[in-house]
Structure formats: C-alpha cells, structure tokens
C-alpha cells in the first residue's frame, strides 16, 4: 500500500485499520491520519444539531387485518368491504362524517380525509407565506393557474390523491388553517359535504375536476370557496 492508497482509505473510513505496515514507516501518513481523526471528531460534534422535543403525530387506529399503505390505495380497485372498513376507520380517527356521498364519490372523500390525516404538519397556524418558487413547484403551470387572491398560502406541496399528483395548499383562515386540494382530474357530478366535530368542508365540482376545501368548524367556508373558485383555473 502506498501513501495515496492509504490516505484514500483513511479519509473514506477513519476506522480503517489496514495498512499498518505502511503507516509504521511513514510519518507523513501518520500525521495525515491524526488530522483525519481530529477532523472526524469535529465533524461528529458539528453534526449534533439541537433536536426539537418529540411530538408524535396523531396515530390512526390500526386494524392489522386491513393495513394498506396509503400510497398503494386505489379505491376503485378496492373491494367494497375494504372501502367500508376504511371509511369507518377514518371516521373513528378524525371524527368526520360524510354527507351526500354517493357510491361514486365515496372513495374520493375517503382519500381526501385520509390524506389530511396523513399530513397533520400541514395544519400548523402560520403567518409565513410559501415562496413563489415553492408555490410554482406545487402548482405547475400545466396543472392550474392560481391568482394571489386565494389568501395567505402557508403550505404548498405536491401530494398523491387517488394515484394522481395534485397540489395541496393550506391558506390561513379566520379560525385557523384551511386545506385546499386542487384535483383537476377528479370529476364529480355534485358537491360533497364533509362534516365533523371540529372541522367541515366540501369537495366542489370544478370543470373536469374538483377542489376540496376543509377548515375549522367555525370557519365560514363560503367566502373561501368563492375566493378559491375565482383564483383557480385548470390548465389541462
């Protein structure tokens, strides 16, 4: 082993204990090794950033017989008994009941609610708007155009609903965060109401797609609905 080989190995893995023969006769590599060990100690200390207090998300009840990863959910391909079981489970977890949900729409509402449950971090009150860049990334121009009239957007992500990537936005209402899911390819024939103990919402048909809007029970969503409908235009 020569100096170059030894230094390559020790810099890649300071615990490397080979090359003892070379090391014992090479002062330069001994010095290099000591430098690397010293540096590694500092790297380890520099990486020890402060950790926030453990905050567990709301964990849904698990029925081990019916565990299906969210990403794998495809309501239309799912047997009827499973759709029913999932609805009951969600109602138990988020305390939401769905009204006006027909057979065709049940899986969409189910998926929307499951998604909210899956992304609780989106529902933090905030006064910090997302950057234009982040918004443009979550709402690509080929999916929808969004005016700034929609409200203070504090969260914007691309999420998966029914196997399709859709923009997930959160605006700040008078009574807390309001979730908006823009679903240009989820056509529904009529509005679907979502009603819960602390939340309420609606999935509105918009052109060939739909928009879900869900906020706190006290929130007057009619105003938000109007504003969102005026702000969004499908590009597809």
| Residues 146 and 139 sit within 8 Å (Cβ to Cβ) | yes
**How big is the site for another protein, counted in residues (CB under 8 A)?**
42
Tokens describing residue 58: 């709301």
Q: Does 50 bind another protein (CB under 8 A)?
A: yes
> 209: which residues sit within 8 A by CB, 6+ positions away?
182, 183, 184, 185, 186, 187, 234
Judged by beta carbon, residue 128 or residue 141, the one nearer another protein is 128
Q: How many helices (H) and strands (E) does the chain have?
A: 7, 9
Closest approach of Cβ 10 to another protein, in Å? 9
Sole binder of another protein in the list 20, 21, 25, 51 (CB under 8 A): 51
User: Which residue, 36 or 188, has its beta carbon nearer to another protein?
Assistant: 36
Distance CA 98, CA 81 (A): 18
Given candidates 23, 137, 193, 205, which one binds another protein under the rule CB under 8 A?
Answer: 137
Q: Please name the helix (run of DSSP H) or strand (run of DSSP E) that holds residue 216, with its range, or none.
A: strand 209-216
Q: Is 205 exposed, middle or buried (0-12, 13-18, 19+ CB in 10 A)?
A: middle
Residue of the chain from 5, 13, 174, 218 that contacts another protein (CB under 8 A): 13
Q: Tell me the closest approach of the beta carbon of residue 153 to another protein, in angstroms.
A: 15
Looking at residues 64 to 83 of the shown chain, list those that interact with another protein (rule: CB under 8 A): 64, 67, 69-70
Using CB under 8 A, pick the residue from 82, 97, 157, 185 that binds another protein.
Answer: 157
- 232 and 145 Cβ atoms separated by less than 8 Å: yes
DSSP 27-87: HHHHHHHHHHHHHHHHHHHHH----PPP-PPPPPP--GGG---GGG--GGGS-HHHHHHHH
d(CA 120, CA 152): 19
Distances (CA, A) of 68 to 44, 74, 128, 172, 177: 38, 10, 35, 32, 28
- Residue 102 CB, nearest approach to another protein (Å): 28
The interface region with another protein, picked from 58-66, 187-195, 200-208, 217-225 by CB under 8 A, is 58-66
Nearer to another protein, 119 or 185 (CB): 119
In the complex, least distance from residue 96 CB atom to another protein, rounded to whole angstroms: 18
| Interface stretch with another protein, choices 62-70, 98-106, 179-187, 194-202 (CB under 8 A) | 62-70
Query: Which residue's CB is nearer to another protein, number 66 or number 230?
Result: 66
Residues found near another protein in the complex (CB under 8 A): 8-9, 11-13, 35-36, 39-40, 42-52, 54-57, 59-62, 64, 67, 69-70, 118-121, 128, 131, 137, 157-158, 165
């Amino acid at each position: 082993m020569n100096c170059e080989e030894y230094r390559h190995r020790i810099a890649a893995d300071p615990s490397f204990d080979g090359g003892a023969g070379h090391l014992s006769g090479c002062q330069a590599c001994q010095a290099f090794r000591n430098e690397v060990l010293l540096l590694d100690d500092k790297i380890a200390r520099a990486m020890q950033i402060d950790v926030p207090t453990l905050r567990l998300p709301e964990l849904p009840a698990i029925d081990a017989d019916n565990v299906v990863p969210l990403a794998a959910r495809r309501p239309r391909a799912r047997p009827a008994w499973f759709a029913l079981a999932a609805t009951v489970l969600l109602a138990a977890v988020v305390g939401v009941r769905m009204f006006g949900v027909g057979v065709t729409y049940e899986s969409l509402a189910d998926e929307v609610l499951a998604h909210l449950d899956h992304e609780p971090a989106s529902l933090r009150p905030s006064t910090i708007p997302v950057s234009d860049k982040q918004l443009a990334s979550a709402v690509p121009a080929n999916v929808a155009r969004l005016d700034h009239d929609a409200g203070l957007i504090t969260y914007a992500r691309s999420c998966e609903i029914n196997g399709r990537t859709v923009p997930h936005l959160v605006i700040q209402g008078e009574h807390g965060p309001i979730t908006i899911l823009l679903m240009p390819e989820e056509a529904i024939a009529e509005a679907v109401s979502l009603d819960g103990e602390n939340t309420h919402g609606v999935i509105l048909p918009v052109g060939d797609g739909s928009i879900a809007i869900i906020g706190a029970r006290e929130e007057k969503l009619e105003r938000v609905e109007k504003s969102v409908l005026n702000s969004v235009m499908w590009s597809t």
